[in-house]
Amino acid sequence: MTRTAAAPDVRRPSTADGDEAVRTSGLSKRFRSGPFRAGQLAVDGLDLVVPRGSVYGFLGPNGSGKTTTIRMLLGLISPTAGGVTLLGRPIPRDAAAVLPRVGALVEGPAFHPQLSGWRNLARLDAADRSADPRTTAARIGAALERVGLTAAAGKRYRAYSLGMRQRLGIAATLLRPRELLVLDEPTNGLDPQGTREVRSLVASLARDGTTVLLSSHLLSEVDQICTHVGVMNAGRLVSQGTLTELRAAAAPRVHVRTTAPGEAAAVLRRAGVTAVTVHSGEVVADLGGHAPEALLRGLVLADVPVREFRVDAADLEDVFVGLTGEGFDVSG
Amino acid sequence: MSAADLLPRFWRSELRLVFGRLRNLAALGVLGAVPVLIAVAVRLSRPEDAQGPAFLSSITDNGLFVSLTAMTAVLPLFLPLAVAVVSGDAIAGESDLGTLRYLLTVPVRRTRLLVVKYATVVTFCFAATLLVGLVGAAVGLALFRAGRVTLLSGTTIGTPAAALRILLIGLYIGVCMAALGAVGLFVSTLTRYPVAAMAATAMLAVTSEVLDAVPQLHAIHPYLLSHWWLAYGDLLRDPMSFLSVGQGLVSAAAYIAVFGTLAWARFGGRDISG
C-alpha cells in the first residue's frame, strides 16, 4: 500500500478489510477486585476502529477505561472477552511480530532513575531483538533531537522535570520508524509551550503516514490534529467517527432574546423548528435545516420585539459533555 | 570484538544495570571486605589465639585458606542477602518503576525477559562468590605463606591443588546461590513491591537455615534449600568425595527447575498493571 502525505483533514477512512491499524471486537475487561465482590467492568464491549493513516483522538474522562483499553491493545493485560487486531494481526498471539512496528507511551513515562536519558533509551534498544545495534547511537540521537532533549541526554532521569520525562517517553516511541503510535495522555505534565510542541510533533508524524492513537481527557488537545474521534464513557465507546461526522451531530442552535418569549416560541414552532425551549426572556431552538434569515423575518413580521437573534455554531465541547455527562477538564 | 560482545545484547545491558547500581556495588563491597578483615585479624593475632572454625588455623600455613574461610563466613547471611536483593528486584523492581510495561511493548517476550533476568541473577551469584574467593586468595597470599596444606583427611597438598579445590568450592557455592536466586525470581513475579520480594527471599533463606538447625526436623532436612550449602567440606578430603556435593547439585537443580517453572507460569499470563 502506498500512502500520500495528505493533509489530515482530507483523509477518509478506508473500509477495506484489514486496512485498519487497530480493530477490536466486543473487547471487554473485568478486573477481579476480591474474592467476595464481583469484579468491576472497566471496558465493556468495545468495537474500536482506527483506520490506517488517521489521527484518532481517544477521548474520555479519567477512569473511563482508556488506559485499560490501551493495555489490552498492547497485550499487557488480557481481555475478559473479545479480541484485538493490531496492524492486521491478532494480539496477543502475534505481539512479537507486530509490536516492533508500534511505538507506545502508556500511562506516563517510566525509566530507571539512576540512568541518563540516553542510557535508558539504549537499554530499551538493547532489549529489541529486531533493532540494529550498529545504528543504535544514531537512532537514539535522532529521537532525542526530535523531542528537544539533546542537551539533557547525559543527565540522569532522576533530575528530569515532568515535561522532560514525558518527552523522553515520546523519544522512546521514536527509536524506530513506526506504523502506529499509541500515545496515552502524551501532554500530561507539559506546559502550554510543550503541549503545542507535542501537538506539532504528532501532526508531523501523521504527515509522514504514521497512524496515531492519541488518548486524552482534554478535548482541546486533540480537536486540532485529529481526523477521527472515539469517545469513552464508563467503559463504553459512546461515539466514534470522523471529526466532521461528530461536528455534524452537534446541531446549531438559534437563540432569540425578546420581551415576548411566548409569542416568539409560537412563531418558531409554526415555522417547523424543533426543540423549542423558553428560559427567562430567551428562546432557544435547534436550527435544523432552516435559514436563520427566514426565521428572523417571520419573527419580525409577527411583531415579536426581537432584541437579539443569534445562531451558535456546533460546539464540540457540548457534544462531548452531552456524551459523557461531564466536562473533560475534570482533573484540572 | 571483546569477550563481552559475545553475550547477547540485552543480557549485557542487564548486567550493566545490576552491576552499575550503587546498592549492589555496596553489597559487593561488603562481601569483598570480609576476607580482608579475616586476613588482617588472623595476621594481627598471636598464634596461640588462633582457635575457631576448622580452616582458620590453616590460614597461617597457606594464605589461600583466607579465601575458604571468607566464603564460609559469608555463606549463612551476607551472600544470601545480596542474592535476595538482586533476585527479588528482578521483576518487581521493573514493575514498581513501570519500566516493565515498556520492556514488554518493545517487545520482549515474557519468557525471554525471565531467562535474561535469571541469567543476570546467576551471573551475580557467581560474581559475588568468586569475588569473596579471589579477594581472599589475593589478601591471603600477600599476608601469609603458600606452604603445604593439611586436608581434613590428614594428607597434605600443595598450593595449585588447594587452589583448584577452593575454586571448585566457589563454583559449588555459586550454584547453591543460583538456586536461591530462582526462588527470588519467582517471589519477584508475585509482587510489584521490590522490597517485599527481597525481604521475603531473604527470610525464606534464613528460615531454611533455621529449620535445618532443628534436629527434630531431620526428616525434611534433605529437601531444604540451604541443607547442602555446607556440603563442600567433602571437597577438602583426599580423595575428594562428590557424594554430598552431588546431592547438593541435584537439590539446587531441582529448586531451579521448580521455581523457574513457577516464575514462568506466574509471569507468563499475568496482567501487567505496573
The SS3 of residue B131 is helix
Greatest Cα pair distance in chain A: 81
Report yes or no: A61 and A233 within 8 Å, Cβ to Cβ: yes
In whole angstroms, what is the distance from residue A301 CA to residue B210 CA? 100
Tell me the count of A-B CB pairs closer than 8 A: 75
Question: Which among A30, A67, A101, A128 is the top mutation candidate for probing chain B, defined by the most B β-carbons within 10 Å of its own β-carbon?
Answer: A128
C-beta contacts of A306-310 below 8 A and 24+ residues apart: A306/A256, A306/A257, A306/A258, A306/A264, A307/A257, A307/A258, A307/A259, A308/A255, A308/A256, A308/A257, A309/A254, A309/A255, A309/A256, A309/A257, A310/A254, A310/A255
Give the pLDDT score at B260: 97
Q: pLDDT value at position A11?
A: 39
pLDDT (tens digit per residue) in A248-270: 776 778 889 998 888 899 898 88
B248, B171, B180: which is closest to B208 by C-alpha?
B180
Residue B1 at interface with chain A, using a CB cutoff of 8 Å: no
pLDDT tens-digit readout, B170-223 = 999 999 999 999 999 999 999 999 999 999 999 999 999 999 999 999 999 999
CB contact under 8 A, A110 and B13: no
pLDDT band at B1 (very low <50, low <70, confident <90, very high): very low
**B17/A123 Cβ within 8 A:** yes
Collapsing DSSP to helix, strand or coil, A332 comes out as coil
How many other C-beta atoms lie within 10 A of the C-beta of residue A3? 12
* Inter-chain residue contact B106 with A76, CB threshold 8 Å: no
Q: What ipTM is given for this predicted complex?
A: 0.90
Residue A7 has pLDDT above 50, yes or no: no
Predicted local confidence at residue A326, as pLDDT: 58
Half-sphere exposure of residue B238, counting CA atoms within 13 Å on the CB side?
12
Amino acid A248: pLDDT? 73
At CA A146, angle to CA A143 and CA A151, rounded to 5? 85
pLDDT confidence of residue A178 = 94
**Nearest-angstrom CA–CA distance, A24 and A182:** 15
A-contacting residues in B 205-264 (Cβ below 8 Å): none
Confirm if A51 and A209 have CB atoms less than 8 A apart: no
How many CB atoms are located within 10 Å of the residue B139 CB? 22
Looking at residue B263, its amino acid is A
Which of A71, A110, A127 minimises the CB distance to B108? A127
Rounded Cα–Cα distance for residues B85 and B27 (Å): 9
Q: How confident is the model at residue B230 (pLDDT cuts 50, 70, 90)?
A: very high
Residues of chain A contacting B, Cβ within 8 Å? 71, 74-78, 95-96, 99-100, 102, 104, 106-108, 110-115, 122-124, 126-129, 133, 172
